[in-house]
Amino acid sequence: MDIVGQHIPLEIHEIASGTPVFDWTVPKQWTIRDAFVKNSRGERVIDFRAHNLHVVSYSCPVDTRLTLADLRPHLHSDPEHPDWIPYRTSYYSEDWGFCLAHSALQALPDDDYTVCIDSTLEDGKLIWGECLIPGATSDEIVISTHICHPSLANDNLSGIAVSIELAKSLLAASGSYYSVRILFIPGTIGSIVWLATNVERLQTIRHGLIAVNLGDTGHLHYKRSRRGHAEIDRVVEYVLHRRKDDCTVIDFSPYGYDERQFCSPGINLPFGCLSRTPYGQFPEYHTSADNMRFVRPEALAHSLDAYREIIQVLNRNGRFQNLQPMCEPQLGKRGLYGSIGGRSDAKERQMAMLWVLNFSDGEHSLLDIAERAGIDFEVIADAAETLTEHGLLARCSGSNA
């Protein structure tokens, strides 16, 4: 959070261990200083200082001597990828363990080993960060990314990096309709804590996305919200298909990342998950191979562009009312034909104005009109803006644009 706060304005929040949050309790705080396994010659054969994935996250303190046979149940490896260190965690269970490459495990000889995990599990606090970019309304788009294992580059340092750059671009822009809140939270317990401590704010959340796995070379994947056809679902699908990228869209399921908390039945916010390759579907997932060589700058930039475009469409979408609905209003006397007559896309823009005027009945959104007309959303939105400036349209009360 200190590093994130060097790039964007960040408000830090905390909650004490032991605090009840819905059906959960904020766990004890884990602090680790060192960990190792030494052979009888005093050599570190497993060393937390060499790679922090060597220790099972949340391991309780240990100081003992064990034979290899007694140590083996506490050692975790991946035989399918013998040179990779797996990532393991023992959240909510006071256990301990070490992770190592399978090749290194097989090379361990029978010996007596000194085992040390210099850690503490004690009442402390859970910390998260929020960056709020104010818009014209207090209604919010929420982007949430998890921070619980940033040593894994795609899952999920990439989400943190894209969220930071997204915040920078939104802070530098102007005229946003929605406020945008970006959450940097531990997975699962972080979203549960945030929801439990922000119940009064939930009614202002209009759209949400979980930002994860955004740096690998796979194509974009979108997991719909529990509602299935919320505006965020329609906008993301529209943007992905308009970009003509390879993409995959799947229905909601109650397993995955923090969308399952935001979409739980008692909350049921319109939250989708936009990633590249989903969790568990790339071999490097939760291993030391998910490193800085695995993520690609061009993939991060591509993901960022998609998020920017989605927010732009959400900001411009809305319902309008035609103020001259009795037959077509005369556009020529208002100079509306002349203003676009010299453009190469003049015919399309004229058609966009006609489509917007005809379907601006308070029931159809600009996205509805764009999809029905087969005209690019930005052209439809520009037409609506022009018609509003000339007194022919008015935004509907409560409309999101």
**Residues contributing to the annotated binding site for Zn(2+):** 149, 155, 286
Q: Is the dihedral of CA 147, 175, 227, 216 positive or negative?
A: negative
For residue 127, what are the contacts with CB-CB under 8 A and spacing of at least 6? 1, 12, 13, 14
Planar angle of CA 183, 187, 189, nearest 5 degrees: 95
Cis ω for the linkage preceding 156 (within 30 of 0):
yes
- Take residue 334 and report the two structure tokens written for it: 């208002």
Question: Which of 209, 206, 205 lies closest to 222 in space, CA to CA?
Answer: 209
Total Cβ atoms within 10 A of residue 93 = 9
- Bridge partner list, 64: 115
Instruction: Give CA–CA dist 376/352, Å, rounded.
Output: 9
Contact by Cβ (8 Å): 296, 366: no
